[in-house]
Amino acid sequence: MKKYVLLLDMGGTEIKVNALTEDNTFLSAKAKHYPSFSNQSKSVIISHIAKIIKETTLDYEEKFVLQAIGFLFPGPFDYQHGISLMQDLRKYDSLYQVNLKEALENELVEERFVNVPFVFENDATCFALGEYIQSENVTRGIYLTLGTGCGSTFIEDGKVVKEGYGLNEMGMIYDTPYLDGQIDDYLSIAGLKQIAVERHYPYINGLALFEEAEKGNKQAQDILVTFGKLISHALTEFIDLFEPNEVVFGGQVSKSFKYFKEGLIQKGHTKYKESKDTSESTFYGLAYTIKKEIGAK
């Protein structure tokens, strides 16, 4: 029977789940969505995750063999040991310093889970890897997920860059000082909202702003173009130092790329792109990480 890996994207609002076979075929046309319960107690969250895993794997048990289970978590997180370090982020606070690998192993005692490895990785990193392996003629790329914050990963010659180029100790840019705060405050929904508020626009959320732009609302379109200029300004030093072949945008805000790309300043031969499917690329990246990790054991 074919082997497969189960993939869980542990968002603050919802958990997205899919499975990928050894020949890179998704077992579900669309990812399944579950509430995350990320503001609940440790026991509730762990039991909920275990229940999702049990139910999902039962769907595939007769035709496929479970090879590994992968989890996408935002940082801060000890990915090597499966320990959450998130605190005061309004999500998964109760899992702070919890060894999720051990906690889930205690819940998943059925035979089909025996000796099945768990792999934990950063969601932004996996998005980047998923995009990179699908790109052609790219040696260096910057990959950004724009949502409630700014996820970022730099890749050079197939490897995630962890130092240099102005990156922090985790190889990211979110906490880089910028204007009156840091990049995370501006290259995000918060930054988009700030531009709208400053222009006295009746801002509801990023989706509503995009929909108004689609209807031809000139003010909404101009706000998104200005957001693109802000992105370019914030990335200038990184692009000058790293000289990427491509900068790829994913996440909620990237759906407005067709408008904010007009504000992006062309530098050298760098191409700006929107991800075709952020979730799919992220799952591809997680599966790629799992195969490398379990293959090395």
Residues 59 and 156 in one domain: no
Residues 144 and 63 in one domain: no
Residue 296 pLDDT greater than 70, yes or no: no
pLDDT at 89 (0 to 100): 76
pLDDT at 87 (0 to 100): 87
**Contact call for residues 284 and 26 (beta carbons, < 8 A):** no
Residues 20 and 77 in one domain: yes
User: What is the average pLDDT score of the chain?
Assistant: 93
Residues 164 and 220 in one domain: yes
Give the confidence band of 170 by pLDDT, cuts at 50, 70, 90.
confident
211 in a structural domain: yes
CATH number at residue 13: 3.30.420.40
Residues 77 and 187 in one domain: no
Lowest mean pLDDT among 76-80, 85-89, 141-145, 293-297: 293-297
Q: Could you give the CA distance from residue 261 to residue 77 in angstroms, rounded to a whole number?
A: 32
Overall number of domains in the chain = 2
Residues 272 and 206 in one domain: yes
Identify which has the larger pLDDT, 293 or 166: 166
Residues 159 and 228 in one domain: yes
Give the confidence band of 13 by pLDDT, cuts at 50, 70, 90.
confident
260 in a structural domain: yes
pLDDT at 214 (0 to 100): 97
**Contact call for residues 235 and 247 (beta carbons, < 8 A):** yes
pLDDT at 153 (0 to 100): 95
Q: What is the pLDDT of residues 24-58, one digit of tens each?
A: 899 988 899 999 999 999 999 999 999 999 999 99
Residues 154 and 213 in one domain: yes
Residue 283 pLDDT greater than 70, yes or no: yes
Identify which has the larger pLDDT, 241 or 296: 241
124 in a structural domain: no
128 in a structural domain: no
Residue 2 pLDDT greater than 70, yes or no: yes
Residues 143 and 268 in one domain: yes
Residues 97 and 169 in one domain: no
16 in a structural domain: yes
Residues 179 and 99 in one domain: no
291 in a structural domain: no
pLDDT at 106 (0 to 100): 95
129 in a structural domain: no
Q: What is the pLDDT of residues 100-152, one digit of tens each?
A: 999 999 999 999 999 999 999 999 899 999 999 999 899 999 999 998 889 99
Sequence-distant (≥ 6) Cβ neighbours of residue 185 within 8 angstroms:
178, 179, 191
106 in a structural domain: yes
pLDDT at 204 (0 to 100): 95
Among 65, 81, 116, the domain boundary falls at 116
Domain membership of residue 97 as a residue range: 2-116
Average pLDDT over residues 56-62: 90
pLDDT at 261 (0 to 100): 97
pLDDT at 258 (0 to 100): 96
pLDDT at 88 (0 to 100): 82
Give the confidence band of 252 by pLDDT, cuts at 50, 70, 90.
confident
Residues 99 and 171 in one domain: no
